[in-house]
Amino acid sequence: MQKKRVTIYDIAKALNVSASYISRALNDHASISEKAKEKIKKKAAELNYKHNALAANLRQGGSKLLGVIVPLINQRFFSDTISGIEEICSDKNYSLLICQSHENFAKEVHAVDTLIKQNVEGILISVSSETNSSEHLQNILTHDIQLIQFDRCLDELNSIKVENNNLEISYKVTKNIIESGYDKIAFLGGPNHLSTFKNRKDGFLKAIKEFNLPIPFNFIQEDLLVPENSYKVARELLLLKDPPNAFLTVSDHQSLAILRLANELQIDVPNDLAIFGFANEDFTTITNPFLSSVDQKSKELGRQAALAFFAKTNAERVRGEKIEPIIVESEIMVRQSSKKI
């Protein structure tokens, strides 16, 4: 006794009109009188009719679906970007298909595939730390699906990108650390093939150079997004004869690991060691001391990514020109962990 889905035909039959008439009425076509519309809508509600998006989308080509791929949904930074994306999409009556790559390239490729099959109209992605090839993203464009990269972007791919002013803010942060009285700054970066992290490193180097600080080469490390790895490397550095007195990380999760390490080693943060990170995660104001960080305006980042989709300004791509990235200005949040008392 399977209940069948109620269709416009059922309404049509009940009202003794044609199905196409119902369709138009339900879609508020101009050619139909208000009175008829009302009557039909009432009947539809009465029969508990629900629009079948599948059929409509098949017919119309579009799916009103957007795909989002992020490394981890439970990092506050990413869930905030998703909130921003959702805000715009629910305005436009688009739904979100959300996937996690779990920082794993294979899963990311699979997610892209799934989303293409689900007929999404656009894919908004912040790539995994492992992602060093853009073939799968290229594939998105091949299928005529909008591609918008945000936060973590592959430089080589000419797509719409929404990023922070990473180089500039990293430069400013480093300058701030130096001016706060720290002179031996170690940089714990991310995978350098992602422009996000490369830019943060370059900003750091720019400031170091400007202030003529002699930083040993092993103070500059890459690919340490996983907190445990940051912990290990930081530990080695802190046990050196001449250890760093400041850490600039590219994520608060690294900063947190270092704070834990400092506690274990009984190092006084901030007086003997400064810590500064990125993302402005919630926990930065729960730790003791509070962690200095860069507010990346994550929600706005998401909003801009979604808006970029709806703007559909990919005219550049068609013409083969380089698409200029959309920049979301970030903000320095100097807290206790980088200010000597």
Partner DNA sequence: TTGTACGCGTTATCAC
Partner DNA sequence: GTGATAACGCGTACAA
Residues of this chain that interact with DNA (CB under 7 A) are: 4-5, 7-9, 16-21, 23-24, 26-27, 30-33, 36, 49, 51-52, 55-56, 58-61
Concatenated DSSP letters for 132-146? Answer: ---HHHHHHHHTT-E
The values of phi and psi at residue 187, to 5°, are: -115, 120
Nearer to DNA, 4 or 319 (CB): 4
Nearer to DNA, 24 or 175 (CB): 24
108 SS3 class: helix
**Six token digits for residue 32:** 């139909």
307 binds, among its own copies, DNA, none (CB under 5 to 8 A by kind): none
Asked if 142 interacts with its own copies (CB under 8 A), we say yes
Question: Residue count at the site for its own copies (CB under 8 A)?
Answer: 46
CA separation for the pair 149, 305 (Å, rounded): 8
Count helices and strands in the chain by DSSP H and E runs: 13, 12
Closest by CA to 271, choosing from 187, 338, 213, is 338
CA separation for the pair 317, 322 (Å, rounded): 7
What is the smallest separation between the CB atom of 186 and its own copies, expressed in angstroms?
A: 23
Nearer to DNA, 145 or 148 (CB): 145
Site for its own copies in 46-85 (CB under 8 A): 48, 50-55, 57-58, 63, 65, 73-74, 76, 79-80, 82-83
Asked if 97 interacts with its own copies (CB under 8 A), we say yes
CB distance 246 to 216 below 8 Å: no
CA separation for the pair 22, 44 (Å, rounded): 9
Asked if 27 interacts with its own copies (CB under 8 A), we say no
Which span sits near its own copies by CB under 8 A: 26-34, 197-205, 280-288, 306-314?
Answer: 280-288
What is the smallest separation between the CB atom of 224 and DNA, expressed in angstroms?
A: 43
CA separation for the pair 299, 85 (Å, rounded): 8
Nearer to its own copies, 95 or 271 (CB): 95
For tokens 């909003």, name the residue: 303
212 binds, among DNA, its own copies, none (CB under 5 to 8 A by kind): none
Concatenated DSSP letters for 27-66? Answer: TT-TTS-HHHHHHHHHHHHHTT----HHHHHHHHS---EE
39 binds, among DNA, its own copies, none (CB under 5 to 8 A by kind): none
Footprint of its own copies (CB under 8 A): 2-3, 5, 48, 50-55, 57-58, 63, 65, 73-74, 76, 79-80, 82-83, 86, 90, 95-100, 110, 113-114, 116-119, 139, 142-144, 256, 282-283, 286-288
